[in-house]
Amino acid sequence: MTKSTHNFEDIFDSSPDEMTMQDRSETLQQSDDALRVALEIGKMGIWDWDVSTDKFTWSDGIKPLYGFRQGNIGGNLKKFLQHVYPADRKRVERDLKKAVKARGTFETEFRILWPDNSVHWMFKKGRVILDKEAKHIRITGIGMDVTTRKLSESILKLSENKFKSVFDASLDAIIITDDEKHILDLNAAGSKLFDVSKEQLIKKNLISVVLAKEKKNTIREWKKLQKEGYQRAETTIQRPNGTVRNVEYSANAQFLPNRALFIFRDITDRKKEELRREHLLGIVSHELRTPLASIKAFAEILHRKLRDTKDQSNLEYLSKIDEKTGVLAELVSNLLDMTRMQEGRLEFFYELFEFDSFLKDVLNDIQVTLRSHKIIHKGKVGKEILADRNRLTQIIINLVKNAAKYSPNAEKIIVKTSFSDHHIHLSVQDFGIGIPKKELQKIFDIFYRIESPTHKRVVGLGVGLYITSEIVKKHGGNITAKSVKGKGSTFFVTLPLQPPKPE
Ligand code: ADP
């Protein structure tokens, strides 16, 4: 290295003047060592091109950067250029020659090809050095492996590009804010949604677009966002011309340090459509109830009259009318409950009552009309519950009727009750067609019906279990199901002795 240091003395300071030869050589040795270590750590090496003789010299440290363990990279410009990636060769040569011509500096980044054909990135910087008569020209400098930096730069660039294309093309409004929710950037869909130009929105607080009466609530939500990091919610915004839009948004408070990302979607039309549908369902089911009640009442009168005439076949027709009217009435009442529930209008009236006798009465009533199955009740609770009596009745009716509907070949249904962990436990077990494992979670979703021929043979809307689970939840309880296909199903309901306090 001593020899090379001599070559590169123009770049690195030589020793101070007032020194003995011994001192000088020790100091030189030390600075040599320090330089070698520094170059090694920095993945750097030194190169020198004697332009006059076209001789390239390399420090030992630069060889590994070109993929060489031993041997030489090459002694002249042509040989050096062979290591440069073909597409970058001309540029590197041109830049070198330009620096020589201008007696100036050389600085460039280019790709190199290792002997194993792998591609690496090299940064080279150098300066032209002239002898006293300015005849002998050399260019000397450092080379540095920058592959890692280049790779992370390109990965960063790629994800930036990806984000930018999503940002520009998105139909949803994308907004970037600081921690205080001041808007820093938004896409075209953003200004379209808020009906305000980007310039007008930048630096404004995002809360300024939220409808006045929603502001308090939204500010509270956004405080939670800061803690939770991620949020999905709905709110309402108001445009400068007064029009109001319903939006749903997802927010990421830690999108970047001190930067939050909001994505807003306009759901006004969807909301309107939902409201229209619910309204229509409400009207239809309401209007259906009255004629159904009349049919049921007239069927009953007819039944009484026919009973005396002993007209067996007409009596059977009448029973069918009665049975089917019952099914229809149940469907209609489920529809009505569902719409009320979705509109948040399903009311609950809580009263304190003794659970065991309540259940006994409900099961007896069901058994009167349920001729196909025998309901067997096991267990005791021995507690009073504060609950909506009618809604709890509805839970039991739904579960027992389902148990009967979906076990056409079975004869019994087992209802078990117990009390533990401050909760009432109720289970309804049937021995019917069962529920495939993957469907067990979905059956509580609204309008969800299992698509198998055996299940579809049974009349239903797919709302009974949705209503049941909503009532259970409203009472602070929980509902789950277990099943073995072809063997039967068991539904488990857990209820606290009193409902949760309203928020
Ligand atoms: P439906 O009116 O269709 O019975 P539910 O909401 O009560 O609606 O039930 C949803 C679906 O769950 C049903 O369509 C049926 O496929 C399945 N299911 C409910 N209870 C049972 C059961 N006891 N045995 C088998 N499948 C059941």
DSSP state of 310: T
Q: Are 259 and 233 in contact (CB under 8 A)?
A: no
6 pLDDT more than 60: no
Ligand 1, atom 11, residue with closest C-alpha: 449
Q: Are 47 and 124 in contact (CB under 8 A)?
A: yes
Alpha-carbon dihedral 352, 353, 355, 360, rounded to 10 degrees? -150
Rounded mean pLDDT, 349-361: 96
Mean pLDDT over the full length of the chain = 88
399 lines ligand 1 (CB under 6 A): no
Rounded mean pLDDT, 162-176: 93
Q: Identify the residue with better confidence: 326 or 196.
A: 196
Q: Identify the residue with better confidence: 361 or 136.
A: 361
Lowest mean pLDDT among 276-285, 320-329, 364-373: 276-285
Phi/psi at 450 (5° precision): -75, 135
Q: Are 88 and 110 in contact (CB under 8 A)?
A: yes
Give the ligand 1 atom nearest the CA of 331: 2
Give the ligand 1 atom nearest the CA of 452: 16
- Cβ neighbours of residue 414 closer than 8 Å, sequence gap 6 or more: 376, 377, 378, 427, 428, 429
15 pLDDT more than 50: no
Q: What is the pLDDT at residue 27?
A: 67
- Of the candidates 16, 78, 73, the residue with the CA atom closest to the CA atom of residue 45: 73
CA of 470 from ligand 1 middle (Å) equals 15
pLDDT digits (tens, 9 = 90+) for 33-80: 777 787 778 778 888 999 989 998 888 778 888 888 765 677 889 989
Percent of residues, the chain, with pLDDT higher than 90: 56
463 lines ligand 1 (CB under 6 A): yes
pLDDT digits (tens, 9 = 90+) for 384-428: 999 999 999 999 999 999 999 999 999 999 999 999 999 999 999
Reported as a pLDDT band with limits 50, 70 and 90, residue 1 is very low
13 pLDDT more than 50: no
Integer Rg of the chain from CA: 41
Ligand 1, atom 8, residue with closest C-alpha: 462
Q: What is the pLDDT at residue 5?
A: 37
Lowest mean pLDDT among 133-147, 238-252, 258-272, 336-350: 336-350
Reported as a pLDDT band with limits 50, 70 and 90, residue 304 is confident
Phi/psi at 177 (5° precision): -125, 170
CA of 462 from ligand 1 middle (Å) equals 7
Ligand 1, atom 14, residue with closest C-alpha: 449
454 pLDDT more than 70: yes
Supply the pTM of this predicted model. Answer: 0.52
108 pLDDT more than 70: yes
449 pLDDT more than 80: yes
Q: How far is CA 199 from CA 187, 237, 282, 306, in A?
A: 11, 19, 46, 82
Reported as a pLDDT band with limits 50, 70 and 90, residue 21 is low
Q: Identify the residue with better confidence: 461 or 397.
A: 397
Per this entry, what is the length of the chain?
503
Compute the C-alpha angle 374/378/382, nearest 5°. 135
